[in-house]
Amino acid sequence: MKRQVESRKAVNTHRLNDGLLHLSKIEVRASGRWRAVEILGGLIVIALAIFALADPQFTIQTLVIVIAAGLIIGGLLRTGVGAFATVLPSALRSLNVTGGVIAFVLGIAALLDLQAAAATLVGILAVALLLVGAVEIGVGVARHPPIWLRLVIVAIGALTVILSVYVILNMSIGQSILAAILAFALLLVGIRNIVHGLTGHHPVATPIESAVTAV
């Protein structure tokens, strides 16, 4: 009887170890919907980048006008809320009025001087893309076991950072050139999204070092 019990324990231990070995080779992939979203987002980003590359100056001015209009409308709404929403606390009403007036003034100033507003917008976009590139480098270093995918992500992140820094350090070379450079950096980000969406997350090895014994 004792030998039979020991034999069953040995069989159970062997089965558990086989199961753990199987679990150590789990494939972790993004869901189909998420991969589709990544691909679609990449295509949209690439389309916007190509549009910007076709006429950088027009793109920048259009963005400035849209943002300025948004600031003016949003500022008027916030000011109205602060002035007439008597149910709100006085501190919150004052905050709405102050924020609304500031947004309205900035929107008007942008429309009155499109050139200065465009230069400011280019600088903001450059900083934003710089942060995106830095994140891409971090993601490429920390994740994605396939070496080629990691190299692609890190390379795209590095190029994005370099282009963004170049724009920040050379704001005087012309807005059209700067906008074209940023559009190219945006194009790289779109390509990265499509590549990642097509490949998904690849197998991740999870080594099991400690032995588990059935009781």
Give yes or no for residue 60 having a pLDDT over 50. yes
Query: 112 or 4: whose pLDDT is higher?
Result: 112
**pLDDT band (50, 70, 90) for residue 203:** very low
Segment 106-132, tens digit of pLDDT: 889 888 888 888 888 888 888 888 888
Q: What are the DSSP calls for 48-104, one per residue?
A: HHHHHHH-HHHHHHHHHHHHHHHHHHHHHHHHHHHHH-TTS-HHHHHHHHHHHHHHH
Quickly tell me which residue has 């230069």 as its tokens. Answer: 119
Domain boundaries, the chain: 41-199
Of 130, 184, 182, nearest in space to 158 by CA? 130
Phi, psi of 27 (to 5 degrees): -95, 125
Token pair for residue 139? 């993601």
Mean pLDDT is highest, among 96-110, 169-183, 186-200, for 96-110
In DSSP terms, 203 is beta-bridged to 27
**pLDDT band (50, 70, 90) for residue 204:** very low
Segment 7-51, tens digit of pLDDT: 555 545 545 445 444 444 444 555 677 778 888 888 988 888 888
3-state secondary structure 96-109: HHHHHHHHHHHHHH
Query: How many alpha carbons fall within 13 Å on the CB side of residue 47?
Result: 6
- Report pLDDT for 147: 81
Query: 54 or 139: whose pLDDT is higher?
Result: 54
Once rounded to an integer, what is the mean pLDDT over residues 54-73? 85
Can you tell me the distance from the alpha carbon of 56 to that of 49, in angstroms, rounded to the nearest whole number? 9
Q: The pTM is what?
A: 0.65
CB count within 10 Å of CB 29 equals: 14
- Report pLDDT for 162: 92
Q: What is the average pLDDT value for the chain, to the nearest integer?
A: 76
Query: How many alpha carbons fall within 13 Å on the CB side of residue 19?
Result: 9
- Report pLDDT for 71: 86
In the chain, what is the straight-line distance between the N-terminal and C-terminal CA atoms, in Å? Answer: 16
Can you tell me the distance from the alpha carbon of 67 to that of 111, in angstroms, rounded to the nearest whole number? 10
Segment 132-165, tens digit of pLDDT: 888 888 877 776 567 887 888 888 889 989 988 9
- Report pLDDT for 8: 56
Can you tell me the distance from the alpha carbon of 38 to that of 31, in angstroms, rounded to the nearest whole number? 11
Phi, psi of 203 (to 5 degrees): -55, 135
